[in-house]
Every structure is written in structure tokens, then in C-alpha cells.
């Protein structure tokens, strides 16, 4: 039977602490793709304080969960400050941006 998903950069059948799967790097946004296929994408990100991903839109609905620190998310005209353990849904085709209020890590899941 053909595998319907593609796992990358992650061990299976093992307990993981996602916030430990990538590190902070000075002056950078770091990403690590976990799953990528035509239906879903799962990516870990770490942001150094002051780093950002500028406004863009996606063809899929995006859910972010902050794993560590605090980030600022702009969705359309609304601004949300999220800290560890908080989750936000960003609807498809709505411009959104992400900014590191301080160093923070997040899990991004996009459903297409």
C-alpha cells in the first residue's frame, strides 16, 4: 500500500518534545518541515527576537501553536499576541504576517 503522507526530518514511534526539535539562531528564522503533501504541511519554526515573515497569503487554512516564547501574528487587520500553549487559526487567502516579540517557536499546520 502506498504511503499517503510524507514525513521528513522526524522520527516516528517515538515521544518527541517539538520545542526541542530546532534551536534559536541569532538574527534568523529557522524552519524544519515535518510533513509535506498535497493535503497538509506541518513545519516547526524558531524566530529570533525581532525577526519576521512578512505579509503573505496561503491557499490553505493555517493553524499555529506557540511552543515557546511570544510571537505577534497579524491576520488581515487584526493583531494577536500569542504565548506558549496558545493557538491561532489563519484562514486561507487572508494576508498574515509573523513577528518575534521575543524569541519564540511555533508549529505551523496548513490544511489545503
pTM of the full structure: 0.92
Question: Helices (H), strands (E): how many in the chain?
Answer: 0, 7
pLDDT tens per residue, range 71-94: 999 999 999 999 999 999 999 999
Cα separation of 17 and 78, whole Å? 31
pLDDT tens per residue, range 15-43: 999 999 999 999 999 999 999 999 999 99
> Architecture of 21-111 per CATH?
Sandwich (2.60)
The percentage of the chain sitting over the pLDDT mark of 90, rounded to a whole number, equals 88
Task: Answer yes or no: is pLDDT of 103 > 70.
Answer: yes
9 secondary structure, DSSP code = S
Measure Cα distances from 87 to 14, 62, 67, 72 in Å: 24, 10, 9, 12
Task: Answer yes or no: is pLDDT of 13 > 90.
Answer: no
Amino acid at each position: 500500500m502506498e504511503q499517503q503522507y510524507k514525513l521528513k526530518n522526524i522520527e516516528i514511534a517515538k515521544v518527541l518534545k517539538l520545542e526541542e526539535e530546532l534551536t534559536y539562531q541569532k538574527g534568523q528564522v529557522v524552519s524544519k518541515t515535518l510533513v509535506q503533501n498535497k493535503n497538509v504541511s506541518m513545519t516547526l519554526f524558531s524566530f529570533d527576537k525581532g525577526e519576521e515573515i512578512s505579509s503573505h497569503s496561503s491557499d490553505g487554512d493555517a493553524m499555529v501553536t506557540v511552543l515557546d516564547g511570544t510571537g505577534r501574528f497579524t491576520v488581515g487587520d487584526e493583531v494577536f499576541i500569542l504565548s506558549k500553549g496558545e493557538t491561532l487559526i489563519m484562514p486561507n487567502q487572508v494576508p498574515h504576517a509573523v513577528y518575534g516579540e521575543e524569541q519564540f517557536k511555533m508549529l505551523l499546520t496548513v490544511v489545503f
